Every structure is written in structure tokens, then in C-alpha cells.
Structure 1
Amino acid sequence: MVVVCIVILVYMVLLLGLAVASPGIGLTGALLALVPDDWRDWAHVPAYGILAWLVMQGFRLRGWPLPYALLSGLAVTVTFGLWTEVAQGSIPGREASLPDLAKDGAGALLAAVMIGCQTLIGRPAEIAGSQAIEELSQTRKGSRER
């Protein structure tokens, strides 16, 4: 579990570092300047989707029920997105942006939907499998008793 927390924190530091980098200033800024503005704007969706997925899976690994893990993961991701926008607004050459925050939330929501669908689609197979195992064990018990 410690490894999961470290991975999440390292990824958050990476996102924060990219959020406060000024395009054209320093190494990170020089690399950011190479990326077209539209790509940087839309990169929020997959970047924060990955963060949300990491956080939600971390909660699931701790045994949290699916709804709690998804809602808490959404809350953590959107809150982190909000604070990175606040930090970004204090950097010369950067500005806080409500559309960027909306894209952060969209990425987090997309991750929640994907995890929810993946879990619900996989669940009928688990239920059917457990019922088949139970029926098989009942059949074996019946044959032993005869």
C-alpha cells in the first residue's frame, strides 16, 4: 500500500510541476512551449483521469466499497485540480482557468465511469461463477451421501 501512495504522490508532484511551469522559461517551460496550446488544454482530461484512476484503485485496494472509492477519488482529484489551478494563477505567464478545472473533473469522471463499468461488467461473471461452484459442491455432497 505504501508503494501505491508513493506512486500517487509522485504523479501529483509531476502534475503540479507541469502546472506551475511557465512556457519558454527553464527546461520544463521550454518543453511545454513545444506543445500546442490546444493539446496542453485537452491534456487535462487524460492526466487527471489517470490521477483519479490511481486514487480510486488505491481506495479499492484498501477495501473501500466501490461507491465510496469512486466518490472519494472524484473529490480528491477535483480538489487537487482546483489547488493546482490556484497555484498556476500565481505564476507569471500562467493563469487559473475554470475550463481547465472542468477538464480535470471530466477526466476524473471518465475514470470513475470506466472503473464502475469494468466492475459491473465483471460482476455477473463472478456471481455466475460462484453459483456454479456452489451448485457443483451441492451435487458432490449429494453424491457422497448416497
Structure 2
Amino acid sequence: MESPYKEIKDYFDNYELPSGGKEDGRLISYENGYTFDKETKFMIGREWNENETVNEPTEEQKIGVIMGFLVDAAELGDFEDMTETNYNEQMSHPISRLNQVSELTDFEPLKEWSQETASLLDEAQNLDSGDERQALLEEGYNELQKMKSLINKNGED
């Protein structure tokens, strides 16, 4: 596995969910509204408050939240389907998630990867259709899929 994926995988593999959550099958929920998958350790949901905000994750939850944001950012469907629609704002959600990851993490390889991938997608989104746009979209898409695969492997090599 090439860098920075190896370092990021080790970082994720060493993460443990905090104690004190309420278990329900594969789910672990916490009082601050965050729910994680017990096996993959990534966030699968968070509750919104009445004032349409969410609680900040605890320090112990941040890595799981980051993994959840990365998996969510990668949920783009097949690349071929994506390129058929090809509308300019299609990368807004993944870019937003990658920016959230960059803000939440202090782990430099992950921060750098998320910023570079967000820049790739942003550059693609700002181009009119054409080969260069397609190449950038595909590169960004592939980066997200690699990261999603790394997280979903749950420690397996």
C-alpha cells in the first residue's frame, strides 16, 4: 500500500470507539447524538438539535466521525453514472465533507490528502466539460474510492 494510505490506514486501525456508548446490535450511540458502526468504527449518523445544529463530537469520537465523513464523501455511485450527468455542482457534497475532515483532523497525512483531493474535485467542478475535467473527476473519484475501501476493510490487508 502506497503512502499516504498506509499511514492513514494505521491511524484508523489504531482507533477505538470511546466507552460509555449504548450498544444496539452493530450500533453504538452516545449521549451527544453520534452513532457509530461497532465493526468499522465509523460514524453512521448524528442527531440534529432543535436549532438545526449538531453537537460537536468529543475528542475520542473525532476519528470515527472523520471516517464517516470520508465514506459519505465516496458514496457517488459508479463513475460512469457520474459522468453521464456531469452537472457542475455534483462534487459540492464530497468537497464539503473533505473540508470538514481537514478541519477536524490533526493527523498531517490525512489533512494533506483531504485538502489535495478536495482541490482536485474543485478544479474539475470549475471546468467546463472536456477531457481535462473528466480526468480530474476520475482521479478524485478514485482517491475517494481508495479511502472508502481502506476504511471498510476494517483492518484487513
Return the TM-score normalized by structure 2.
0.29
* More strand per residue: 2
Higher relative contact order, structure no. (Cα contacts within 8 Å, ≥ 6 residues apart): 1
Larger radius of gyration: 1
